[in-house]
Amino acid sequence: MILNSYPTNHHFYTPWALFVMWLTVRSEMRQNATYNSLIRQVGFCRMQSFDTVSRFTSESVPMFLDGRILMGVGLSNENMKSSEGFLCGACLRVTHVENFYEWNSELTQWGGMIPESPPPFLVMVMDQCTDPVCTRDFLDFDIYNEHQPVMNGNPYHVEWTLVPCPVKEEEPMEYILCTATTCHADDEAQNLTVGDIISTPVEYWSLTIRNTRMPLTQVMVEYQGSFIPLRLENAWVWDQGPYSLKDGIHLKIRIKDHPQILNEVLEMPSLDTPTSIGYRGGIRFVGAVSGDEVKL
């Protein structure tokens, strides 16, 4: 009988196995992006509707619909938690990315791989990535295809910076108002009106504020003569007692790097106005503050 002269608690690998392990570690070290099939999902930030299957069907903000923003992304939870402002709806300028594909305008089909890195392009934070792989500065590129172009691996060597969003001067801020019974994936896509939602005071409502140049740092609402800060979750939340939405909402808004507090008085649409089916009963409307009032 031939005895094994090596300690039995040690592992020995063939040269090929060691090479594969080295490639795996090297890939993990350089990978800081993935693709995400964000089909029929509203995402953490409510920047697109539950019925989204393409750019055109997303019911998103104008700068995404017309292509000023190339793609949506999910951003690492580490970045979201440590930011000075709320990063949902923020714009990032991707200055470098490798192993990246060309995409059609609707983000439903990919073409050939782009040699080296494409020219810089803008993306918008539409989701939050909490997976373990999503370390700081990780981007999850949103696409509208159930399959993903990963035969050659995921994108890597991604570099980006936070920049002002390309809001046009005449474009107002947008709002999606939700209550305890609307804007959830399991809510029925029924034909509701604004009157169905706001005819009586509600204990809870939340406000998604979109189409802003820079991240918001604080939102306050007038209530019984005082301005009370709204609590931040994936939107700005009121849960401080009965609130009569039909009387409108008076906000004070602080924006990152903006010297002044913005005043916005939101008047509710007429009671017979249909709510958004894509946002499952959410009330989607625009305010009075436009892009030229929040220039940096």
DSSP-assigned letters across all residues of 207-253:
EEEES-SS-EEEEEEEETTEEEEPEESSSEEE-SS-B-GGG-EEEEE
With a cut of 50, say whether residue 6 has pLDDT above it: no
Mean pLDDT of 217-229: 95
Q: How far apart (Å, rounded) are the C-alpha atoms in residues 126 and 119? A: 22
- Angle at 64 (CA atoms; ends 212, 97), nearest 5 degrees: 100
E strand intervals along the chain: 33-37, 71-76, 91-98, 101-103, 110-113, 121-129, 139-143, 156-163, 172-179, 205-210, 216-223, 226-229, 231-232, 236-238, 249-255, 262-266, 283-290
User: Topology of domain 172-291, per CATH?
Assistant: Immunoglobulin-like (2.60.40)
Is 5 exposed, middle or buried, given 0-12, 13-18 or 19+ CB atoms closer than 10 A? exposed
Span of 10-19, 105-114, 129-138 with lowest mean pLDDT: 10-19
Q: How far apart (Å, rounded) are the C-alpha atoms in residues 181 and 282? A: 9
pLDDT at 290: 66
With a cut of 50, say whether residue 16 has pLDDT above it: no
Candidates 43, 78, 49, 69; CA nearest to 171 is 69
Task: Say what percent of the chain tops pLDDT 90.
Answer: 79
Q: Which residue ranges does the chain devote to CATH 2.60.40.760?
A: 172-291
The per-residue pLDDT for range 257-288, each reduced to its tens digit, is: 888 899 999 999 999 999 999 999 999 999 88
Q: How far apart (Å, rounded) are the C-alpha atoms in residues 230 and 219? A: 6
pTM above 0.85, yes or no: yes
- Are 162 and 95 in contact by the 8 Å Cβ rule? The answer is no
How distant is the alpha carbon of residue 19 from its chain centre?
Answer: 38
SS3 24: helix
- Are 242 and 206 in contact by the 8 Å Cβ rule? The answer is no
Mean pLDDT of 222-229: 95
Q: Options 3.90.226.10, 2.60.40.420, 2.30.40.10, 2.40.40.10; which CATH number does 31-163 get?
A: 2.40.40.10
Q: Which residue ranges does the chain devote to CATH 2.40.40.10?
A: 31-163
179 forms beta bridges with 205
- Are 112 and 100 in contact by the 8 Å Cβ rule? The answer is no
- Are 144 and 64 in contact by the 8 Å Cβ rule? The answer is no
Tell which wins on pLDDT, 271 or 19: 271
With a cut of 50, say whether residue 71 has pLDDT above it: yes
Q: How far apart (Å, rounded) are the C-alpha atoms in residues 278 and 60? A: 11
For the CA atoms of 166, 171, 173, 179, what is the dihedral angle to 10 degrees? -120
pLDDT at 206: 98
Task: Report strand pairing: 71-76 vs 121-129.
Answer: parallel
The per-residue pLDDT for range 147-181, each reduced to its tens digit, is: 998 887 899 999 999 999 999 999 999 999 999 99
